[in-house]
Structure 1
Amino acid sequence: METPADAVSAAVDAQGISFAGLPPRPHVLGRGLAIWGRVISDSVSRRRVLLAVAAAPLAVACTTESAPPPPPDPLSALAAQARADAALAKTLTTPAAAEIAKARETHATLLQAEVDRERPPLSSTAPPVPTAPPTPPDPLAALRTALDGAAREASVLVPSLPSYRAGLVGSVAAGCASLLEVLS
């Protein structure tokens, strides 16, 4: 019984092609690996391959430009102003001043929480406590001016913020306006 390989051999012999000078064929998988192993070992050493693999991330890190830092969060300035207003209100001895200090501390806490939620701090330490500014000659007038400025700054900022932040800043602006009425 003749196999397909015998038929191919007979056809090759009929054409006059000779395979007598060729080396014997090893198994196909073994031959492919042997050829690639010889090609790799002849052209590239193992050290060069390892060096290229180790240097690739370094090359990528050196060539990519870092993104510019984001602009400062506008709510962080409002939080700092609220802390300063609370410190100024604590210097007054009127009963309303204690409530104003408490309200402005609450504003500062809520604004800082939103700033930290939007852009988490790089370290787990709390923001530095500001030093107490020098007491102005008329602290009551300075507090009125500060509350008026905070209400104006917050109300100007509201239209440029996303809706979930605009609600908070609008509440702070309204709170500052109502605290200003308490002082009047």
Structure 2
Amino acid sequence: AARRSACVVFDLGGGSTEVVSGLGPEAGRWASLPFGAVSLTERFVRGNPAAPAEIEAVAAEVHHVLMHECALMPESAPLFAGVGGTVTVLASLDRGITIYEPALLEGWSIAADRLDQLTRRVAGSTEEERCHWPVLGRGRSDIVVAGSIVIRELAHRFQAQGMMCSTQGLRYALARLAAEEASPSAGP
């Protein structure tokens, strides 16, 4: 039988974050986390750009919740994918594209170190700078800071080597991860 890798898929929303873990295409555990990009921004982010203490407060809150709510999920997930507006913003910045084009983002992978770099870039920029990013939707320039920190903390929690972007939802992302794992080019 083929070895199946642990996978984690998350959907980062405004008020909550859904996390599903499993082996290959089979969903095993899920958690609905009580925070999202909007709620964390409202609670913690006031500065423009965000102050280091604000960034740390968001990270600490996310870390604390993950340790409790995701305790029964795998320690590491070689297959890691995200869904949501902040995910597509980070993928767009990584690809260097200037228009939102789902076909260019679906399946795009961002290495873990690059994800950290992008999070620092987002968190260190002003709202005025972010407003000029063509891939950032109107009214989203403030919440992308907290959203990128959530993604970074999720990636660290699951020791992800990178993140695949999905523009089509949790179930589709799980199916895509399973297909990539089964592909001969997926690696050892």
TM-score over 0.5 (shorter chain): no
Between structures 1 and 2, the one with greater helix share: 1
Report the TM-score when normalising by structure 2.
Answer: 0.24
Between structures 1 and 2, the one with greater strand share: 2
Which one has a bigger Cα radius of gyration?
1
Report the TM-score when normalising by structure 1.
Answer: 0.25
